[in-house]
Amino acid sequence: MKSQNLDRRKKALQLLESLESGASARVSQNIDEFHPEALEILLGFAFHDVVSRDGIDLRTREMLTVAMLAAMGTAQSQLEFHMRAALNTGVSPEELVEIVLQVSVYAGIPASMNAMTAAKAAIV
Amino acid sequence: MKSQNLDRRKKALQLLESLESGASARVSQNIDEFHPEALEILLGFAFHDVVSRDGIDLRTREMLTVAMLAAMGTAQSQLEFHMRAALNTGVSPEELVEIVLQVSVYAGIPASMNAMTAAKAAIV
Amino acid sequence: MKSQNLDRRKKALQLLESLESGASARVSQNIDEFHPEALEILLGFAFHDVVSRDGIDLRTREMLTVAMLAAMGTAQSQLEFHMRAALNTGVSPEELVEIVLQVSVYAGIPASMNAMTAAKAAIV
Amino acid sequence: MKSQNLDRRKKALQLLESLESGASARVSQNIDEFHPEALEILLGFAFHDVVSRDGIDLRTREMLTVAMLAAMGTAQSQLEFHMRAALNTGVSPEELVEIVLQVSVYAGIPASMNAMTAAKAAIV
Amino acid sequence: MKSQNLDRRKKALQLLESLESGASARVSQNIDEFHPEALEILLGFAFHDVVSRDGIDLRTREMLTVAMLAAMGTAQSQLEFHMRAALNTGVSPEELVEIVLQVSVYAGIPASMNAMTAAKAAIV
Amino acid sequence: MKSQNLDRRKKALQLLESLESGASARVSQNIDEFHPEALEILLGFAFHDVVSRDGIDLRTREMLTVAMLAAMGTAQSQLEFHMRAALNTGVSPEELVEIVLQVSVYAGIPASMNAMTAAKAAIV
């Protein structure tokens, strides 16, 4: 792997670790056993190229991610992770409550209820 | 209509008007000619019950709404409206750019491109 | 084409025509110029195999179809067609109003607003 | 909480209980431990404002809800609940079969298969 | 059941069995206990009418199916089945890796991660 | 912009141009007027990092892309583009017909009909 790619991988995992302590080891093991380039491609894009950009702080970005995953309703375990990541980056439990309620407006009550389940698991 | 319902309708339209000047007249005409109770039910829920709540400021809520609608990809004209509403409530064009980019991570490049189209129309 | 396939095609188009006068000629021209077997495969399945079954009357089936298409939010022109088909098979405008409102509960306000647009176009 | 809100909460829970005996206690405990106002906001909207309206009977509304949740495919446990609620409000097992089959036309075979799983769990 | 329907059922199950040894017995039991005509309607359409057609070979069709189910994100167990079926019809593990990566472009990183989970379970 | 980023941008546009003559100029103008880094981030990921990879040829990748966009149903104009790109990379009109039919199995008849519209516009 070229040095720029190693750098991209490393920075992506640093961002991931800042979302939840221990996540970088767990996720990198999971993805690396799938394919050695997958982590740099997927998380390099997600965390190195996009989420670590200036312009919006990480705390607000996690609020946006929680809202998107809850509204889409197709990635419950990632939603649970980002509920925890939101708390870890400074989002308050009260703010998670408000996001869960707002999801109901744009994606319906069942999406909101599933987000509530994820939020409760994270807040405990 | 009971007075509490009239109050709910009125407050919902006030919130809507704060998202875009002129929106309350346009939207209320559109919905009222469909059914006289629809506005109070739908926008009373959306704007009186949820979006006007404390806990997250309106500016951040519009960022969340833009992210959700862009990720879902099923309501392009509402996305365009909320891109404008985001700007009207203090979201910067730079922040809209960041949201558009972040959408690509969680919902894919086509969703991001459609959000870009909506953002460009609002920012002009 | 085998006779059983011709029969399937014919019965599918009869069901379609009962949803809206003139629809069988318009839709069959559209699909036949794509591929000569597509109509029998797609509408044979939809209308001959499923929608024409006993167990639920056609009027109620159109209510279900309107609700599904509105909730999914990915086929606005088909939603408009089935709003008209619903009226043609005995669903009242008042019932369409109720379906539009119920969509908001399960799929959110924007899905309901897009269904409202389709319903208004059909009811006029 | 204001009396009108208490009334909204109470009526929402009555509707919920009519969908399945015991549901109001279970669901209210689940939502109340999340936030004391969430139940009135979410279920007040869903059940007091919308689903309890005249114009379509509860039995037909449950058919619509089942169809929508099955077509969306993002809320399997709610789909299972509403399969049971449909039976409890007078929908026959034969009608659930027909809805499951009709889902395949508008949302594809996998959505229909997942609805079949939910229906079988409810019908047993 | 008419002989043409029995033939349709039989051919659908043959196609299914070619996707995974043992699948025809397992799936037919599951569907037949739901309704005696469901298998012929649903799998007759899917496998007899469409997937067994000439024009695209079965191996490529399984690649398309895996891509679609992963992008939609609403049928994880069917995605797992078709990951195995893809391997059984000649798709290589390396090709599954590429499909999983390509899903991220069009449907986002979470959809790709869920497809990765399904692929890993099939490849083992 | 760093040289590696310029290289990523250049290679992404080369891939895009190979999908449709003239597309690189049109798309780069559209995205560059939104934000100067957006093209490298979004299309660098899509086309440089993923779609240009070995393991699956470009012709098959376009088939997968068409299937995914058709099944998701949320990006009709991108679907039209990739229908043309599929033809430009060697997919036959007959193969597009088969993909359109297969979409109906996994995402329903309306998704297939919308894909048919896109295919007909590309095949003309």
- Checking if the pLDDT of F64 tops 80, the result is yes
pLDDT at residue number C88: 98
The one-digit pLDDT tens for each residue of chain B (124 residues) are 577 788 999 999 999 999 999 999 999 999 999 999 999 999 999 999 999 999 999 999 999 999 999 999 999 999 999 999 999 999 999 999 999 999 999 999 999 999 999 999 999 8
| Range F12-48 burial, b when 16+ CB lie within 10 A, else e | bbebbbbbbeebbeebbeebeebbebbbbbbbbbbbb
Mark whether A112 and A68 lie in a shared domain.
yes
| Share above pLDDT 70 across residues of chain D, in percent, rounded to a whole number | 99
Mark whether F31 and F90 lie in a shared domain.
no
- A32-42 residue pLDDT tens: 999 999 999 99
Q: What are the backbone dihedrals phi and psi of residue B70, each rounded to the nearest 5 degrees, phi first?
A: -65, -40
- Checking if the pLDDT of F72 tops 80, the result is yes
Mark whether F60 and F48 lie in a shared domain.
no
Give how far F68 is from chain C: nearest CA, Å: 14
Residue D10 is inside which H or E element, if any? helix D3-19
Mark whether B36 and B17 lie in a shared domain.
yes
Nearest C-alpha in C relative to B40: C101
Greatest alpha-carbon pair distance for chain F in Å reads: 47
Q: Check: CB of residue D62 under 8 Å from CB of residue D86.
A: yes
Cβ of E76 under 8 Å from any chain F Cβ? no
| From F106, F110, F111, residue closest to D109, measured CB to CB | F106
Give how far B37 is from chain D: nearest CA, Å: 10
- D41-91 residue pLDDT tens: 999 999 999 999 999 999 999 999 999 999 999 999 999 999 999 999 999
Mark whether E88 and E33 lie in a shared domain.
no
Chains with 3 or more CB pairs closer than 8 angstroms to F?
A: A, B, C, D, E
**What's the complex ipTM?**
0.97
Nearest C-alpha in E relative to A69: E110
The Cα-based distances of C84 to C66, C76, C88, C114, D105 in angstroms read: 10, 13, 6, 15, 18
Chains with 3 or more CB pairs closer than 8 angstroms to C?
A: A, B, D, E, F
| Range D62-72 burial, b when 16+ CB lie within 10 A, else e | bbbbbbbbbbb
Q: Taking CB atoms and an 8 Å limit, are A34 and E119 in contact across chains?
A: yes
The Cα-based distances of B102 to A31, A62, A64, C107, F114 in angstroms read: 21, 10, 8, 23, 28
Nearest C-alpha in A relative to F43: A45
* Residue keyed to tokens 């009396």: D3
Q: Counting Cβ atoms within 10 Å, is residue B96 exposed (0-12), middle (13-18) or buried (19+)?
A: buried
Q: How many CB atoms lie within 10 A of CB E56?
A: 22
Q: Taking CB atoms and an 8 Å limit, are D56 and C102 in contact across chains?
A: yes
Q: Check: CB of residue B70 under 8 Å from CB of residue B109.
A: no
Interacting residues of B6 by C-beta distance below 8 A, sequence separation 6+: none
Contacts of A91 in chain B (CB under 8 A): none
The one-digit pLDDT tens for each residue of chain E (124 residues) are 677 788 999 999 999 999 999 999 999 999 999 999 999 999 999 999 999 999 999 999 999 999 999 999 999 999 999 999 999 999 999 999 999 999 999 999 999 999 999 999 999 8
Q: What CATH number is associated with residue E123?
A: 1.20.1290.10
- B26-40 residue pLDDT tens: 999 999 999 999 999
Q: Which of B50, C93, F37, C61 shows the shortest CA–CA distance to D44?
A: B50
- Checking if the pLDDT of C124 tops 80, the result is yes
| Range E65-97 burial, b when 16+ CB lie within 10 A, else e | bbbbbbbbbbbbebbbbbbbbbbbbebeeebbb
Q: Which of B101, C51, F89, E75 shows the shortest CA–CA distance to A64?
A: B101
- Selected for mutation to probe chain E from A19, A26, A32, A34 (highest E CB count within 10 Å) is A34
Q: pTM of whole model > 0.95?
A: yes
Give how far C78 is from chain E: nearest CA, Å: 20
- A32-69 residue pLDDT tens: 999 999 999 999 999 999 999 999 999 999 999 999 99
What is d(CA A63, CA B68) in angstroms, rounded to the nearest whole number?
11
Cα dihedral E53→E56→E58→E64 (10° resolution): -110
Q: How many CB pairs below 8 Å do chains A and C form together?
A: 18
- Listed by number, the residues of chain C in 78-117 with a beta carbon closer than 8 Å to a beta carbon of chain B are 97, 100-101, 104, 109-114, 116
Interacting residues of F104 by C-beta distance below 8 A, sequence separation 6+: C41, C42, C45, D108, E50, F111, F112
Cβ of E19 under 8 Å from any chain D Cβ? no
Mark whether E71 and E87 lie in a shared domain.
yes
Mark whether F120 and F63 lie in a shared domain.
yes
> pLDDT confidence of D1, banded at 50, 70, 90?
low
From F11, F32, F53, give the residue that closes a domain: F53
What is chain A's alpha carbon radius of gyration, rounded to the nearest angstrom? 15
Across the range D17-39, mean pLDDT stands at 98
Mark whether C63 and C103 lie in a shared domain.
yes
Contacts of F45 in chain B (CB under 8 A): 104, 109
Q: Taking CB atoms and an 8 Å limit, are F72 and C72 in contact across chains?
A: no
Cβ of F9 under 8 Å from any chain E Cβ? no
Tell me the residue range of the domain where C17 lies.
1-53
What is d(CA D43, CA D10) in angstroms, rounded to the nearest whole number?
10
Q: Domain total for chain A?
A: 2
Cβ of E50 under 8 Å from any chain D Cβ? no
Mark whether C35 and C69 lie in a shared domain.
no
What value does the mean pLDDT of chain A take?
96
Cβ of A42 under 8 Å from any chain E Cβ? yes
- Selected for mutation to probe chain E from C6, C42, C45 (highest E CB count within 10 Å) is C45
| Share above pLDDT 90 across residues of chain D, in percent, rounded to a whole number | 94
Q: Taking CB atoms and an 8 Å limit, are D49 and B50 in contact across chains?
A: no
From D14, D36, D53, give the residue that closes a domain: D53
End-to-end CA distance of chain A: 41
Mark whether E60 and E34 lie in a shared domain.
no
Q: Taking CB atoms and an 8 Å limit, are C108 and A107 in contact across chains?
A: yes
- C74-103 residue pLDDT tens: 999 999 999 999 999 999 999 999 999 999
Q: Check: CB of residue D108 under 8 Å from CB of residue E65.
A: no
SS3 per-residue string spanning F71-85 = HHCCCHHHHHHHHHH
Give how far A117 is from chain D: nearest CA, Å: 9
* Residue keyed to tokens 């086309």: F47
Instruction: Write the DSSP symbol of residue E2.
Output: -
Q: Check: CB of residue E92 under 8 Å from CB of residue E59.
A: no
Mark whether B17 and B65 lie in a shared domain.
no
pLDDT at residue number D6: 82
Mark whether C24 and C71 lie in a shared domain.
no
- Checking if the pLDDT of A4 tops 80, the result is no
pLDDT at residue number B1: 59
* E79 three-class SS: helix
